């Protein structure tokens, strides 16, 4: 059965991309940018798989993002051409969803125009002059043969296993503490009972005298 991408998946994915703008647009400029990309994709994969709606590898989630951008670019270009009257044919009734508008705002207007000219005709997209032109994203390129990536599935399962071990240890420690407290309380109760009996005995002797 094919894996179905749900709206919850795209909401998490787009939220993450908006939080990590340089990651989304392929402009990480740190010395270890390649490793940073891998770590961010691993983090995003764990978040997506943690939704409880099925699991995928990091590479498949990368392809989901690439395919989404590709389809969005085509759709936005068609709408732009229709508004400018350059597409020909019947009137185009396609509209962008809120999620698609968020991604276009994130990636910049040249993402769908395919050139450096100013945006024209798409009055439903707010201009975003603070976002530079999109550069080639190395993450979205097809992976070369021989490239190796850490298995996200194994990482996710290992994380769950560690959390289960922590839960087991906490439960065990709580039981041990409970047993210790119970033992101490019983010992204290016996001591108090013994002292009380001694006190009663002393009082009786005084009454007899």
Q: Give the position of tokens 């390129």.
A: 141
Which DSSP category does 127 fall into? -
Computed from CA positions of residues 140, 154, 32, 28, in that sequence, does the dihedral angle turn out positive or negative? Answer: positive
Q: What is the model's pTM? A: 0.51
Per-residue pLDDT averaged across 185-197, rounded?
82
- State the Cα–Cα distance between residues 187 and 182, nearest whole angstrom: 9
- Give the pLDDT confidence score for residue 91 in this predicted structure: 59
**Residues of the chain with pLDDT > 90: what percent?**
19
Contact 107, 69 (CB under 8 A): yes
Q: Which residue has the tokens 């498949």?
A: 60
Phi (first) and psi of residue 192, to 5 degrees: -65, -40
Q: What is the tens place of the pLDDT at every residue in 97-122?
A: 999 999 988 888 667 665 333 333 33
What's the longest Cα–Cα distance across the chain?
Answer: 122
Q: Which of 37, 42, 56, 55 is nearest to 140 (CA)?
A: 37
What H or E segment, with its residue span, contains residue 73? helix 58-84
Distance CA 61, CA 5 (A): 10
Q: What is the pLDDT of residues 30-61, one digit of tens each?
A: 788 888 889 999 999 999 999 988 889 999 99
Helix (H, G, I), strand (E, B) or coil at 123: coil
Give buried/exposed letters for 26-64 (b at 16+ CB in 10 A, else e). bebeeeeeeebbeebbbebbeebbeeeeebbbbeebbeb
CB atoms under 10 Å from CB of 10, counted, come to 19
List phi, psi (to 5°) of 161.
-65, -40
Query: Is residue 136 predicted with pLDDT exceeding 70?
Result: no
Within 10 Å of residue 105's Cβ, how many Cβ atoms? 16
């Amino acid at each position: 059965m094919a894996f179905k991408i749900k709206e919850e998946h795209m909401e998490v994915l787009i939220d993450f991309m908006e939080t990590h703008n340089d990651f989304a647009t392929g402009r990480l400029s740190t010395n270890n940018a390649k490793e940073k990309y891998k770590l961010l994709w691993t983090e995003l994969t764990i978040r997506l798989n943690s939704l409880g709606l099925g699991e995928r590898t990091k590479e498949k989630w990368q392809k989901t993002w690439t395919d989404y951008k590709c389809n969005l670019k085509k759709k936005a270009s068609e709408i732009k051409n229709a508004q400018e009257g350059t597409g020909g044919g019947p009137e185009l009734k396609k509209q962008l969803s809120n999620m698609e508008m968020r991604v276009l705002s994130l990636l910049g207007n040249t993402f769908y125009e395919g050139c450096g000219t100013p945006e024209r005709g798409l009055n439903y997209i707010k201009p975003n002059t603070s976002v530079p032109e999109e550069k080639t994203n190395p993450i979205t390129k097809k992976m070369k043969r021989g490239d190796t990536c850490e298995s996200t599935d194994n990482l996710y399962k290992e994380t769950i296993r560690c959390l289960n071990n922590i839960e087991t240890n906490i439960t065990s420690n709580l039981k041990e503490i409970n047993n210790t407290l119970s033992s101490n309380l019983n010992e204290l109760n016996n001591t108090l009972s013994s002292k009380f009996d001694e006190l009663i005995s002393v009082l009786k002797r005084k009454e007899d005298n």
